[in-house]
């Protein structure tokens, strides 16, 4: 009998705030099948808990999320994975409670989709972001559903086509995150935001969020299948497979 794999995502509720912590340092919180499954389940759990008014998604270390799990992608393909990430973004956007992300360090590629799907995103001003897909022969397809809803179009073009690193302060200027603060102030800022959200009445939070995210959810529903198919096709391409193999070999 084999042991169950160690939990990669943790869940705790304090003062009406459900905190969901990504804790998969071995792959820099990459969006593996296990991590996405656990994150999805914890979001549903928070949504169903009448004691919870707001949800915080954070990481145990400085890396918030490194994007797709390229090891899984290169060996198993991404057909199911791309749809799971579309569904994850939709769940964040449609959850009856506000979702906040806290980011101290690095966010890459698919991880940016979680930040963009959240209602409020607070980042350290020196945190780093990058839409690195273009460097690997891929495109920011499935996360464009949320990222392009948040970022101004000029910033989206610069960051998507360039694939270069930008800071939390720049992410705030681009519209990707709500606010960027000095790293030393991040915990206090996020705590204050979550405490404020927790004072909201459940019906008020639910109905306000539905109004705010109506266009975003419609965008996901209209384009999700097309973007998932595009992403799956690109991950399976020879160009992307060669680039991913080279990238993984450099990391070893």
Q: Which residues are the active-site residues?
A: 133
Total residues found in the chain within this entry: 252
Nearest to 48 by CA among 77, 81, 13: 13
Q: How much is the CA Rg of the chain, to the nearest whole Å? A: 17
Query: Own/partner pairs for 23-26, CB < 8 Å, 24+ apart?
Result: 23/59, 23/60, 23/61, 25/60, 25/61, 25/63
- Name the H helices within the chain: 33-48, 70-76, 79-94, 110-117, 144-150, 153-162, 168-174, 186-197, 202-212, 214-235, 238-251
| CA-wise closest residue to 82 among 251, 246, 211, 240 | 240
Instruction: Single out the residue of 52, 50, 64 nearest to residue 12, CA to CA.
Output: 52
Q: Whose CA is closest to 175, among 129, 116, 128?
A: 116
Reading the block at residue 246, the tokens are 């080279």
Taking the C-alpha atoms of residue 79 and residue 91, their distance in angstroms, rounded to an integer, is: 19
H-helix or E-strand spanning residue 124: strand 120-124
């Amino acid at each position: 009998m084999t042991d169950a794999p160690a939990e990669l995502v943790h869940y705790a509720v304090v003062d009406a705030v459900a905190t969901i912590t990504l804790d998969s340092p071995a792959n820099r919180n990459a969006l593996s099948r296990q991590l996405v499954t656990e994150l999805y389940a914890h979001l549903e759990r928070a949504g169903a808990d009448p004691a919870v008014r707001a949800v915080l998604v954070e990481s145990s270390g400085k890396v918030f999320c490194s994007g797709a799990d390229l090891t899984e992608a290169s060996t198993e393909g991404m057909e199911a994975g791309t749809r799971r990430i579309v569904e994850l973004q939709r769940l964040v956007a449609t959850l009856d409670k506000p979702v906040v992300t806290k980011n101290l360090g690095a966010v890459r590629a698919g991880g940016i989709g979680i930040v963009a799907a959240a209602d409020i995103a607070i980042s350290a001003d020196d945190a780093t972001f990058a839409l690195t897909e273009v460097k690997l022969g891929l495109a920011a397809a499935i996360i464009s559903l949320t990222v392009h809803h948040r970022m101004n179009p000029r910033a989206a073009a610069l960051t998507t086509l360039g694939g270069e690193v930008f800071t939390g302060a720049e992410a705030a200027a681009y519209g990707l995150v709500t606010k960027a603060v000095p790293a030393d102030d991040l915990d206090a800022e996020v705590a204050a935001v979550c405490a404020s959200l927790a004072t909201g009445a459940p019906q008020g939070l639910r109905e306000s969020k539905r109004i705010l995210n109506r266009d975003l959810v419609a965008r996901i529903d209209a384009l999700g299948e097309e973007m998932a198919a595009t992403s799956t096709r690109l991950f399976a391409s020879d160009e992307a497979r060669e680039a991913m193999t080279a990238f993984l070999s450099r990391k070893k």
